[in-house]
Amino acid sequence: MTSSIASSIDSILLASAHPERLRRWYVEAFDVQPDADGFLPLGSVGVLVDGRDDVDPTTAEPGRVILNHHVPDIHAAAKRLDEMRAPWVAPVEYRDAGLWFGTVEDPDGNYVQLIQTTPDYWVQKRQRAGASTGPLTGASLAVRLPAQDLERARRFYSEILGLDPIDERPGGLLYGCGGQEFVVFASTGRASGEHTQMGFTVPNLDDAVAQLRARGLEFEHFEFGDLQVTDGIVTIPGYYSTKPPTGERAIWFRDSEGNLLGLGEHTFD
């Protein structure tokens, strides 16, 4: 049964009697910077450290709420924390089910648990769910968009979409968006532009479209049979049965290299 209430936990507030000290610790421990609203982007969840006068300097029950921080390399993360002399509650160890764990204590006494999943974890999880497994069961997905002119693509994504690379290497630009990543890479091939290669989901499609048009972006206009199309935006009824949305609205555009990208928002009855 699907819930009729569209909700998600996107952020966590850490109350502290010494917020500046606690915030600095998380910035140094996980190499992140607060966003415009002060949230520390730890994966897909933002952590806001806020000062309050109704909490003690240290937490009385550190095990009641534990921050689970998933990392790609738990040993590298542990080395960084060792250099900071962070106290370990439980050292890094491999446990059954394909998982690495390690727990440290932040300056306020909160527990932060590091977790690294392995390919074997995803295989076992699918087996527990009764799903079939195959050679790609434990694989991760990677979006790759070709660019005949990488610098031209860099300018497009920065000036039009407002996205700058979070890392790069010769021939490749790595972008982060919504806790996920995609790569634009130098290629002699040309994108066909005949099908959607990647999609962005935004909370307010009309606002996003207006802002992008103001930046000079031209959107495509597609007709999909009897589906309603208004100013290029297509209303699509129905959604996956395991997801809260009941439909979506979408529009498409091409980047500077001819890749066809989608822009949409979820709708709820």
The structural domains of the chain, with segments of one domain joined by +, span: 11-128, 143-267
| Between 93 and 7, the higher pLDDT residue | 93
Confidence of residue 242 (pLDDT cuts 50, 70, 90): confident
Element (H, E) at 13: strand 11-16
Assess whether pLDDT exceeds 60 at residue 5.
no
Assess whether pLDDT exceeds 90 at residue 26.
yes
Q: Cβ(21)–Cβ(27) under 8 Å?
A: no
pLDDT in tens, 170-225: 999 999 887 788 999 999 988 888 999 999 999 899 999 999 999 999 999 999 99
Please list, in sequence order, all residues whose beta carbon lies within 8 angstroms of the beta carbon of residue 269, skipping any fewer than 6 positions away. 4, 246, 247
Assess whether pLDDT exceeds 90 at residue 14.
yes
- List for the chain the helix, strand, coil content (%; round to 5): 20, 35, 45
**Buried-exposed string 55-73: b where 16+ CB fall within 10 A, e elsewhere:** eeeebeebeeeebebebee
User: How high is the pLDDT of residue 99?
Assistant: 94
Residue type, 224: F
What is the arithmetic mean of pLDDT over 83-94? 96
Confidence of residue 1 (pLDDT cuts 50, 70, 90): very low
Structural class in CATH, domain 143-267? alpha beta
Where does 11-128 sit in CATH, by number?
3.10.180.10
Q: Cβ(132)–Cβ(189) under 8 Å?
A: no
> Average pLDDT of the chain?
91
pLDDT in tens, 148-170: 999 999 999 999 999 999 999 99
The answer for 40, left when phi > 0, alpha when psi is -120 to 50, beta otherwise, is: beta
User: How high is the pLDDT of residue 10?
Assistant: 83
- 269, 246, 268, 263: which is closest to 206 by C-alpha? 263
* % the chain with pLDDT above 90: 71
Task: Map residue 205 onto helix, strand or coil.
Answer: helix
* pTM over cut 0.95: no
Integer Cα distance of 44 and 10 in angstroms:
7
User: How high is the pLDDT of residue 120?
Assistant: 84
